[in-house]
Homo-oligomer: A and B are copies of this chain.
Amino acid sequence: MRKVFQAELHQIGEELIEISKLVSEAMQKATTAFEAADTELAQEVIAADARIDFLQNDLDERAIDVLALQGPVASDLRMIVGALRMSASLERMGDLARHIAQLARLRFPENVIPESIRPTFVELAQLDIAIANKVTELLETRNLELSLEINTHNARINELHAGVFKAVAAADWNASAPTTVDVTLASRYFERFADHGISVARKGVGATTGSMVRSSSGR
């Protein structure tokens, strides 16, 4: 029974990592599509989101089965509840990558972002990708320092996000109103993606701590 249980926990962990990798890949492709006005790549991201949704559902059903069949307690229970929450955040991150791809597709062959503010969005994209990669690495290695790095990236994203609104309010902002809408939404999507990344990292750290407690108490 205990062996089956450990195998199930392991499987849940593996699925989380798989979803996290797909999210990371989605964000990389979405931002490339966004920056290069590549509608085919955008379409690929949009289509691939269904796989993330499927895996989230699969993971959740597996987690509920483990709760029902194994009746875990203490840190194991918290790990499984944590996995349910992390999968929800990861699924949402996949949606946000899809939204960025959809903006690229909507404005094709135009570029979504005006030239003057493009460097900000390049940095936002890089930071979101870094966060997604570090979330995956955190799930794989449980190296808690990654969580601090994710927080640092997120702080910079919040600065850049505020900077976008400052740029739009400046006297020399001369983009059209629909472009202003796109810039606003895109910036918000990047900011939300990072925020969900923080959530996953926080829960990942919680689960890790739980796991450490479990090990040290010799269960």
Q: Which residues of A contact B (CB under 8 A)?
A: 64, 67-68, 71, 73-74, 77-78, 81, 84-85, 88, 165, 168-169, 173, 175, 177-178, 180-181, 184-185, 188
Contact = CB atoms under 8 A, between A and B. Distances in A.
Given A64-B77, A88-B88, A181 B178 contact: no
26 contacts: A64-B81, A67-B67, A67-B77, A67-B81, A68-B73, A68-B74, A68-B77, A71-B71, A81-B84, A85-B88, A88-B88, A165-B178, A165-B181, A168-B178, A168-B180, A169-B177, A169-B181, A175-B177, A177-B177, A177-B180, A180-B181, A180-B184, A181-B184, A184-B184, A185-B188, A188-B188
A12 to B, nearest CB: 14
Contacts of A74: 68
Q: How many copies does the complex hold?
A: 2
A175 B168 CA distance: 13
A161 to B, nearest CB: 11
A113 to B, nearest CB: 14
A211 B112 CA distance: 48
Could you say which of A84, A173, A180 has the most chain B C-beta atoms within 10 Å of its C-beta? A180
